[in-house]
Amino acid sequence: MKNLRLKAARASLDMSQQQLADAVGVSRQTINAIEKGDYNPTIRLCLAICKTLNKTLDELFWEE
Amino acid sequence: MEHSVGYILGVLVGAAAGLGVVALLFKLKVMDLTFDERQERARGQAYKYGFWTMTACLFLYGFSDQIFGRWCDVLTGVMLCVAVALMVFASVCIVKDAYLSLKEKPRTIMTLLTVITLLNLSIGAMNLKSDRVVKDGVLTYGAVNGICGVMMLTILVVYLVNYLLAKREAGE
């Protein structure tokens, strides 16, 4: 399932996939895979993404 | 086949020089092994495919040797199996975007790979021209450069096709 909330949060900070990837120490393709729902990140990476985008885990990764 | 001490020393010095070049490339950060969690996972899967490919190739090689008799030198046969396994490993890594590490620059690595491919194919062609690839109907160690050249060319082609497909997908 696509993670549109992550994409929206990144876009709201005017960040590219590459910038977010550099900030959390992964490749651009990994961010792309998470946004497309092709890859389930570990809790450690989820937390790093949340801290970078100033969001909570629930806001970005909790499935309603 | 018996070889002189000079030949064996030459092979050892060549292998040491090769290892030295790779170590230098790592020291200069041209080559690097820093992967993220998705890449590590993808490389693990690719390694599994490579392992089973090599197992299958070694069995096939062993069976073919038993059935048809000696058709290639043992070391050449092993290199052939390793080359096929590496081709599978690298191709799966490329398709899963896990071939290059976080710090490696695609252009630098592909240039390096192109140079090594051309070098191996050239030496392979020279060996073929001077009849050092097949002796008495047996594939000799002289074929290894050609085998490595074809393997690296395949990896380059897979990388290029994957790159072009990803670029087209990003443009859509």
Q: Among the listed ranges A34-43, A44-53, B3-12, which one has the minimum average pLDDT value?
A: B3-12
Residues B19 and B44 grouped into a single domain: no
Residues 6+ apart with CB under 8 A from B21: none
Beta bridge partners of A8: none
Count other Cβ atoms within 10 Å, centred on residue B34: 11
Residues B71 and B10 grouped into a single domain: no
pLDDT at B103: 87
Residues B119 and B53 grouped into a single domain: yes
pLDDT band of residue B172 (cuts 50, 70, 90) is low
Cβ–Cβ < 8 Å for B76, B145? no
- Give me the number of domains chain B comprises: 2
Residues B20 and B80 grouped into a single domain: no
Residues B124 and B147 grouped into a single domain: yes
**Domain boundaries along the sequence of chain A:** 4-61
For A40, nearest residue in chain B (alpha carbons): B38
In this complex, which of A27, A44, A45 lies closest to B39 when CB atoms are compared?
A: A27
How far is A48 from chain B, CA to nearest CA, in Å? 13
The DSSP symbol for B31 reads: S
pTM of the model: 0.87
- Answer whether residue B2 shows pLDDT above 80: no
CB–CB of B39 and A45 under 8 A?
A: no
What is the phi/psi pair of residue B32, to 5°? -155, 155
Beta carbon pairs, A and B, within 8 Å: 26
* Domain around B7: 1-31
ipTM, 2 dp: 0.90
pLDDT band of residue B29 (cuts 50, 70, 90) is confident
CATH of segment(s) A4-61:
1.10.260.40
CB–CB of A41 and B37 under 8 A?
A: yes
For residue A51, what are the CA distances in angstroms to A10, A23, B100? 12, 10, 27
Residues B91 and B17 grouped into a single domain: no
Residues B19 and B56 grouped into a single domain: no
CB–CB of B36 and A42 under 8 A?
A: no
Percent above pLDDT 90 for chain B: 67
**Segment B117-165, tens digit of pLDDT:** 999 999 999 999 998 899 988 999 889 999 999 999 999 999 999 989 9
Residues B107 and B138 grouped into a single domain: yes
Residues B63 and B93 grouped into a single domain: yes
Residues B24 and B66 grouped into a single domain: no
